Amino acid sequence: MSNVRVRFAPSPTGYFHIGGARTALFNWLYAKHTGGTFVLRIEDSDTERNKKESLESLLTNLRWMGLDWDEGPEVGGPYGPYFQSERNDIYKKYLKQLQDEGLAYEKEGAIWLKVSGETQTIDDIIHGPVRRLEEKDFVIYRSNGTPVFHFVNVIDDIDMKITHVIRGEDHLSNTSKHMELYHAFGVPAPKFAHIPLILKTDGPGKMSKRDRGSLVEEYRDKFFLPEGLINYLSLLGWSPKNDQELMSLEEIIAAFDLPGINKTHARFDEKKLNYINAEHLKHLSKEAFFEKGIQVLKATGHEDYTHNVPLLKEVFAIVQEKLRSFEELPNFIGYFFDDNYNFDEKALQKVLKHEPQVRLAEIRTLLASMEEFSCETIEAELKQLAERNGVQPGDYIHTLRFAVSGRSVGPSLYHMLVVMGKDNVLKRIQRCLDAKLF
């Protein structure tokens, strides 16, 4: 364990936002990288706006991403409580210190901090020294008796012995206020790392709740892999500097460091996220793919697909390399488990060009006569058949795929047929013929 202590201090007033997730991630990565402690602190001092559902959503999504906290809600720790709403006595104590020293005063029912009048120098790991003068006194306790953000934020960081404050660059200007507070309390300020913001894919400004892809739960709902999301997010404002982009969590932790973070804001790119997620999906172990695949099927109301485990495993085996996202899984494999699969209209139009009626009859006779039903034998027989009849093998392949799956895309045809089994394939060909589509 190092003495590094970082914190993520969200305010549970809405959905968990991708920018917040990235901030949490960078804090978590730094804690993991240094062997330090990751603290989760809930800044719920504004009781008006806090919602219970927001807190639950926050904790659920953090856990889904795998960003577990060493201290905080539901796990406790030596510097609790970890909800600001429960720390009023602590704030009062700190306030008294300022009042005793004549650094805070009352005006219009509120309590104000007397500002030093000196230019503050913020020691920022990413931006270097940043100088800013805080010109006016500011409120630290509202006239309704509740403390304001700047005040409690600094006290908590002092009290919880936070060593590095990693947060969005939107807080950089506020930091001069915080420096005034550190000086007033007579304690050294922590190191700061103000990370660049995530901007909208196009158009001006930073990513907001209304932007597509801005909510963490969207990714959970679409069955993204947390490691895929994390990999992508880690690349927004940071890189390992060696041209490697696809990384495991362990590799990211090992390479991540604060001085490596960029100064420039990054635009959100959904396509790259999808690509990185798809890569992680492809590289999943058979076991992990199986386990997650089953979760997806159950969650989408296709539990019946999971009853035949041997079949499911075979289907997963031939489908994994083709699948771009788990969201597509049920639709991608449904026909294996449902004998009443639909015939896709577009796929039908393509097939119509190849005299499907004739082709199918020929294929049926051929397959029925085969004793060894394997990828190699089917492929060889099919090609011979095509040659004998003076047609392209593709004519048979397209037609056959359509007949047994109702679609024009999917895994390797031969593997698909073997997984279905000869009897099933013959039955499906018959069903297609009976449907009188041609």
Span 61-120, contacts to RNA by CB under 7 A: 84, 108-110
Minimum CB separation from RNA for residue 389, in Å?
12
User: Restricting to residues 245-284, which ones interact with RNA according to CB under 7 A?
Assistant: 245, 260, 262-267, 269, 271-272, 275, 278-279, 282
**Does 41 help bind RNA (rule: CB under 7 A)?**
no
User: Restricting to residues 145-174, which ones interact with RNA according to CB under 7 A?
Assistant: 146, 148-150, 169-174
Nearer to RNA among residue 96 and residue 324 (C-beta): 324
Minimum CB separation from RNA for residue 338, in Å?
16
Residue 390: CB atoms within 10 A of its CB come to 6
- Per the listing, tokens 């019946």 go with 304
**Does 311 help bind RNA (rule: CB under 7 A)?**
no
Per-position DSSP letters for 32-59, written without gaps between them? HHHT-EEEE-B----TTT--HHHHHHHH
Q: How many residues bind RNA (CB under 7 A)?
A: 80
In degrees and rounded to multiples of 5, residue 195 shows phi and psi of -85, 145
Q: Stretches 88-96, 185-193, 200-208, 427-435: which one binds RNA (CB under 7 A)?
A: 200-208
Q: Which of 23, 37, 45, 214 binds RNA (CB under 7 A)?
A: 45
Token code pair at residue 107: 């005006």
What gap in Å lies between CA 333 and CA 410, rounded to an integer? Answer: 8
**Does 344 help bind RNA (rule: CB under 7 A)?**
no
Minimum CB separation from RNA for residue 126, in Å?
8
What gap in Å lies between CA 192 and CA 132, rounded to an integer? Answer: 14
What gap in Å lies between CA 402 and CA 335, rounded to an integer? Answer: 11
Nearer to RNA among residue 197 and residue 225 (C-beta): 197
Tell me the CA distances in angstroms from 344 to 61, 139, 406, 407, 432, one per residue in order.
37, 65, 6, 6, 12
Active site residue 209: yes
Residue 402: CB atoms within 10 A of its CB come to 23
- By CB atoms closer than 10 A (0-12, 13-18, 19+), residue 209 is exposed
| Beta strands 198-199 and 266-267, pairing class | parallel
Minimum CB separation from RNA for residue 114, in Å?
14
**Does 327 help bind RNA (rule: CB under 7 A)?**
no
Nearer to RNA among residue 52 and residue 241 (C-beta): 241
**Interface pattern 346-385 for RNA (x via CB under 7 A):** ---------------------------------x---x--
Instruction: Cite the active site residues.
Output: 209
